[in-house]
Amino acid sequence: MKITIIGAGNIGSSLSYALILRELVSQIVLIDINEELLIAKELELTQSIAALNLNIDLICTQDYKYTQNSDIVVFSAGFVRKDGQSREELLKLNASILLDCAKKIKEFIPDPLFIILTNPVDFLLNTLYESKLFSPKKIVAMAGILDNARFKYEIAKKLNVKVSRVDTRLIGFHNDDMVLVKSHTKVNNKNIDDFLNEEEFEDLENEVKTGGAKVIKYLKNSAYLAPASACIRMIESIRSGEFLPMSIILQGDFGVKNKALGVMARLGLEGVIEIMKMELSAQEKEKLEQSLIKYQYKGGKE
């Protein structure tokens, strides 16, 4: 498998390193506008490949011609949100970068599986869809897997259990309006209601929603190891066939048409294969409905 990663910053380089460690690829193309950064990453990553005695080719370049025949393109370039900056401002900045990079990719790869990691992921996915550059089912965004990982982590920490004993699902947007699907959350095959009351679950929900902010507080930078790991899980799911939370372009599911929203879905190199059908509780339906109205996916008052 050949994977192109656009953006050699913290997430892009961490993802490259994880792909090497997991031996998921035969070739990685790492693209960035910063030549010195590319030189440094090429040294680090090729020496890592040598240390592990692996047969993986790495190309660190500014030239998109090397992306040809890539099976997957991962977009991790762009700006992170600064204090006082609105989501609309961030979207405008990163949408411009995304479209510029996507058009360059299009010259060499007609229709790759294109995964967006840059924020705001759901709305950047809308931007890419509206550009009509690639097939709608082949453009997706990673965020739900990261949010779901934080969900599992908080439950495991709260109840002092192994994360492998926690089963969670999550839908909606990658922001404070995400919907933690409590009705499908289990610990040791028992519903979460057997362990947490409503108030305790709400407290836990807040911890999940502020998971990224907590990293920024102590690291003074946005998270990158967990997002890269979440993307690895997404790529590995192409082989395993498991359902995972991801943002995709919906065609009527949950009442959303021609817009990006996080749902439980299965992914292949050919794109989105299947969307999980889920029965939501009345409260979960209401939360999702309100978020759809808020972001003008549906009519109504904000």
As annotated, the active-site residues are 174
Tokens of 28: 């990685």
213 annotated as ligand-binding: no
Of the candidates 10, 60, 18, which has an alpha carbon nearest to the alpha carbon of residue 234? 18
81 annotated as ligand-binding: yes
56 annotated as ligand-binding: no
144 annotated as ligand-binding: no
32 annotated as ligand-binding: yes
Q: Is the distance from CB of 180 to CB of 202 less than 8 angstroms?
A: no
Beta strands in 124-165 (DSSP E): 139-141
Handedness of CA 110, 9, 268, 138 (dihedral sign): negative
10 annotated as ligand-binding: yes
Q: Is the distance from CB of 147 to CB of 125 less than 8 angstroms?
A: no
126 annotated as ligand-binding: no
Q: Can you tell me which residue has the tokens 């946005």?
A: 222
Q: How far is CA 280 from the centre of its chain?
A: 23
169 annotated as ligand-binding: no
Tokens of 71: 């099976």
300 annotated as ligand-binding: no
262 annotated as ligand-binding: no
87 annotated as ligand-binding: yes
Tokens of 200: 């305790």
Q: Is the distance from CB of 131 to CB of 109 less than 8 angstroms?
A: no
From CA 21, how far away is CA 146, in angstroms rounded? 20
> Which residue ranges are tagged as binding site for substrate?
81, 87, 119, 150
Which residues carry a binding-site annotation? 7-12, 32, 81, 87, 94, 119, 150
| Binding site members for NAD(+) | 7-12, 32, 94
